[in-house]
Amino acid sequence: MLQHALRTVRDGLLGLAYPEECRVCGGAVESWDDGVACAACWNDANVTRLIHSSVCAKCGVPTSRTLGGAQPSRPKAGSRLCGMCSALPFAAARACGVYSGALEVSILFLKVNPHICSRLRLLIARTFSEHREALASEVVVPVPLHRLREKQRGFNQAAIVASAISRKFNLQLDDHSLVRTKATERHRAGLDATDRAKSVEQAFTVSEPRLIAGTSVLLVDDVYTTGSTICAAARSLLEAGARQVNVLTIARVG
């Protein structure tokens, strides 16, 4: 009873931290738990496209009609390979959904505010839990920002996500061994996959190889775009002696 009352008061103060309007549809955001998107946009499969069930066993791209807003089924054993990702350096990658709707606006909010709303936090945890066999890791490592970018922003959004996973699943967090040594352009939307890959060549190094050697690493970021950043970071971890690298992102493009 008291918990319900406190939640009601909290939601009534929503406007202190969040806009009153949903950043997707402009409707009312009525619960603090939903962050910057309303419950309707979170639950509409045509707006927020979550990834369910059958995905490529390696890169995590949907291999059938696996997008929607309903409760997901358990991932199918022996998921097929898409045939396009055999050369990628990581062992397995998974995402909560496609970069769209409530996921998209939540990620954009996270880039400027170090906060993950409860609904998104639960979705990240559920995605990792449902794919835990494929993503089995001992150490959680966020994709780092360049030190100048992080100083300007004040935090690394990938580290916020990695910390949440580490606490929830009692995994070791290493948010300092992987270092971004090369600053890349802030806006790279106009670059194709080849140019993006070139922009992050030699962009990462591992400052503490002894902490990485022999471990299975869960590499965490907010968005999987072309995979160039993820792959560059994964290669650096493998070169430092990581046994394997798995990847978890909030969303993936396309």
According to the 3-state scheme, what is the secondary structure of 33-76? HHCCCCHHHHHCCCCCCEECCCECCCCCCECCCCEECCCCCCCC
The full set of domain ranges for the chain reads 1-43, 49-252
Strands 92-98 and 244-252 turn out to be: parallel
Asked whether the predicted pLDDT for residue 156 surpasses 90, the reply is yes
Q: Could you give the CA distance from residue 19 to residue 143 in angstroms, rounded to a whole number?
A: 29
Q: Which two tokens stand for residue 105?
A: 């606006």
Question: Token pair of 24, please?
Answer: 């997707």
Q: What is the pLDDT of residues 168-190, one digit of tens each?
A: 999 999 999 999 998 775 544 45
Which phi and psi (to 5°) does residue 223 adopt?
-135, 135
Residue 144 contacts residue 158 (beta carbons within 8 Å): yes
Q: What is the mean pLDDT of residues 115-142?
A: 97
Amino acid at 193: A
Q: What is the pLDDT of residue 70?
A: 44
Looking at per-residue pLDDT, the higher value among 16 and 88 belongs to 88
Lowest-confidence range among 11-15, 45-49, 148-152, 203-207?
11-15
CA neighbor of 116 nearest in space, from 35, 31, 25, 23: 35
CATH T-level assignment (fold) for domain 49-252: Rossmann fold (3.40.50)
Q: What pLDDT, on the 0 to 100 scale, is given for residue 155? A: 96
